[in-house]
A and B are shown apart, each in its own frame.
Chain A
């Protein structure tokens, strides 16, 4: 095996997305500061004290762990700025380690009713961006004008740091992907109203809910594209992407008639709009979406990929989407934190055997690398992707 270069890595990832057989299965860990800090003996709260210096992609701490693990084929770089995140991700109460919860617990999002029925009416009237520009600062307890000025100033710095981040990874020999994420309208409302209240809304006032989503979708798309372009991921070794956060609209929660009306039309609109702009959508399907997978055949083939978290049946999905899109996944969080490296290796080999056959697999984890993963288990994922190559001819 010849040594990897940025070109071999990029070719491998591109082949997988394009559903062509790569030289071997690409691997990518969605790593963030949580595992990095725990592994390096630091507290989760240290990250929040050090914001910006800490374990983000591109920091020296992150790069250390990345190298110790042996590195992977492409790296995340360039996301949403604060203001964009405020608008494209759900408004929820956040409990920060060292502040609201003990020093070494993981950050958590508290699900309480943040948006009410009155807010529905306002969103219908003014659209999502205008609504959130006013609502979000108030929800956090700030004056909107003061907050806006502050985060606009911060955005300049945040954006200025993105390009060098990408260039640094490229210099180190790794292609990057990035451009931030966006919640689907259903996911946004489900988390901001609470899943229980929102579900009742879907059964009691479906037309109102649809009107809200109709008032959101174009704003979400426009800002997503703008933010992705501003993040500047591109050039020969940068893949502009947009993660679409879909975690609650699937068969785990809803019958297809709800998915067909309240999730899929908006998802389709997003994917098509992003693809038209040269952006690769990453559909972040946490929880079980097995029932919904056939619908993805209606999306532009080989122009997006999906990320599964071990709850969706990845083997069935492969059969359904063999000619549609690449699948990233799906080593389970419990396996990474409690399993042995032999168990992890065996599961990864099964994925490569079945899902990786003919291409179309990026070995990975669902949502994010668990804070308490065993190092040897993560390493095993990477080693298996490199060394186990049953399809190579």
Chain B
């Protein structure tokens, strides 16, 4: 691992900022820097899986990554990294819990997905429209309240009606979501763990590419 990757994996915020500044200053291209950051995020994921890191470390690394992206983004070429899998994510209609969804969105960006975050209280139609617009192949829905199960189901049904259901994989997440909820909504997977969600999405993406 490069110094930058391990600084991120070790949550050393200032060191990450310093190295990025140095590397960009000496003419390294921002795509190369981003690749190193992603390796760092992958390492964070590994440590989480081994039980060395907790959700809190995922959060902190995600914030460091976000700050780094603010520096990199202006110089990143739009399609510099080749085609990335597109994920549409949001907290479903009637629910305004944002924290879990935000964490997952950041982690997905961290490992290289192109994420369209629709925010909270997202109407069914907005999910469908975004899938049509972006041709995303993955939809992630978050919800923490029991009435959100119905919103999730309605969204899956609307994807069906729009003829998109066999083109997208759907994952639902949030502290109340269980297998029972997955069955009820017709989603393809469920999780109450951000990293597990990222792993599932990675697998789907590897299969479809």
Binding site for B on A (CB under 8 A): 95, 101-102, 105-106, 108, 110-111, 194-196, 199-200, 202-204, 251-255, 258, 287, 311, 332-339, 370-373
Once the chains are docked, how many angstroms separate the CA of A95 from the CA of B120? Answer: 13
Contacts of A311 in B (CB 8 A): 175, 192
Once the chains bind, are A199 and B60 in contact (CB under 8 Å)? yes
Contacts of A108 in B (CB 8 A): 95-97, 145
Q: 1/0 per residue B32-61: CB within 8 Å of A?
A: 000000000000000000000111110110
Contacts of B177 in A (CB 8 A): 334
- Whose C-beta in chain B lies nearest to the C-beta of A191? B99
Once the chains bind, are B180 and A334 in contact (CB under 8 Å)? yes
Contacts of A333 in B (CB 8 A): 146, 176
Say if the beta carbon of B8 comes within 8 Å of chain A: no
Once the chains are docked, how many angstroms separate the CA of A141 from the CA of B99? Answer: 26
Once the chains bind, are B60 and A200 in contact (CB under 8 Å)? yes
Once the chains bind, are B175 and A196 in contact (CB under 8 Å)? no
- Whose C-beta in chain A lies nearest to the C-beta of B100? A195
Do A106 and B147 contact each other (CB < 8 Å), given the known contacts A196-B63, A254-B56? yes
Number of residues on chain B facing chain A (CB within 8 A): 30
Once the chains bind, are B178 and A332 in contact (CB under 8 Å)? yes
Task: For the complex formed, measure the closest distance between the CB of B202 and the CB atoms of chain A, giving whole angstroms.
Answer: 22
- Whose C-beta in chain B lies nearest to the C-beta of A369? B146
- Whose C-beta in chain B lies nearest to the C-beta of A258? B56
* Contact residues of B between 131 and 185, Cβ < 8 Å to A: 145-147, 149, 175-178, 180-181, 184
Once the chains are docked, how many angstroms separate the CA of A337 from the CA of B149? Answer: 9
4 residue pairs, one from A and one from B, having the closest CB atoms: A370-B146, A337-B146, A334-B178, A199-B59
* Contact residues of B between 12 and 29, Cβ < 8 Å to A: 13
Contacts of B147 in A (CB 8 A): 105-106, 371-372
Once the chains are docked, how many angstroms separate the CA of A111 from the CA of B55? Answer: 18
Contacts of A95 in B (CB 8 A): 96
Say if the beta carbon of B103 comes within 8 Å of chain A: yes
**Listed A/B pairs (5) with beta-carbon separation below 8 Å:** A101-B94, A196-B63, A254-B54, A258-B56, A336-B146
Say if the beta carbon of B11 comes within 8 Å of chain A: yes
Known: A334-B176, A371-B147, A372-B147. 15 other contacts (CB 8 A): A105-B147, A108-B96, A111-B99, A196-B63, A200-B59, A204-B13, A254-B55, A254-B56, A255-B54, A333-B176, A334-B149, A334-B180, A336-B146, A338-B149, A373-B146
**Total A-B residue contacts, Cβ distance less than 8 Å:** 80
Once the chains bind, are B180 and A195 in contact (CB under 8 Å)? no
Contacts of A204 in B (CB 8 A): 13
Once the chains are docked, how many angstroms separate the CA of A334 from the CA of B177? Answer: 7
Do A253 and B56 contact each other (CB < 8 Å), given the known contacts A108-B96, A111-B99, A311-B192? yes
Binding site for A on B (CB under 8 A): 11, 13, 53-57, 59-60, 63, 94-99, 102-103, 145-147, 149, 175-178, 180-181, 184, 192
Contacts of B180 in A (CB 8 A): 334-335, 338-339
Once the chains bind, are B178 and A203 in contact (CB under 8 Å)? no
Once the chains are docked, how many angstroms separate the CA of A108 from the CA of B92? Answer: 14
Once the chains bind, are A106 and B145 in contact (CB under 8 Å)? yes
Contacts of A339 in B (CB 8 A): 180
Contacts of A105 in B (CB 8 A): 94, 147
Once the chains bind, are B56 and A199 in contact (CB under 8 Å)? yes
Contacts of B175 in A (CB 8 A): 287, 311
Once the chains are docked, how many angstroms separate the CA of A251 from the CA of B60? Answer: 16
By CB atoms of chain A within 10 A, which of B55, B56, B98 has the most? B56
Once the chains are docked, how many angstroms separate the CA of A175 from the CA of B145? Answer: 31
Contacts of B98 in A (CB 8 A): 111
- Whose C-beta in chain B lies nearest to the C-beta of A335? B180
- Whose C-beta in chain B lies nearest to the C-beta of A253? B55
Task: For the complex formed, measure the closest distance between the CB of A117 and the CB atoms of chain B, giving whole angstroms.
Answer: 15
- Whose C-beta in chain B lies nearest to the C-beta of A109? B96
Contacts of B54 in A (CB 8 A): 251, 253-255
Once the chains bind, are A203 and B56 in contact (CB under 8 Å)? yes
By CB atoms of chain B within 10 A, which of A95, A110, A195, A373 has the most? A195
Contacts of B13 in A (CB 8 A): 204
Contacts of B55 in A (CB 8 A): 252-254
Contacts of A101 in B (CB 8 A): 94
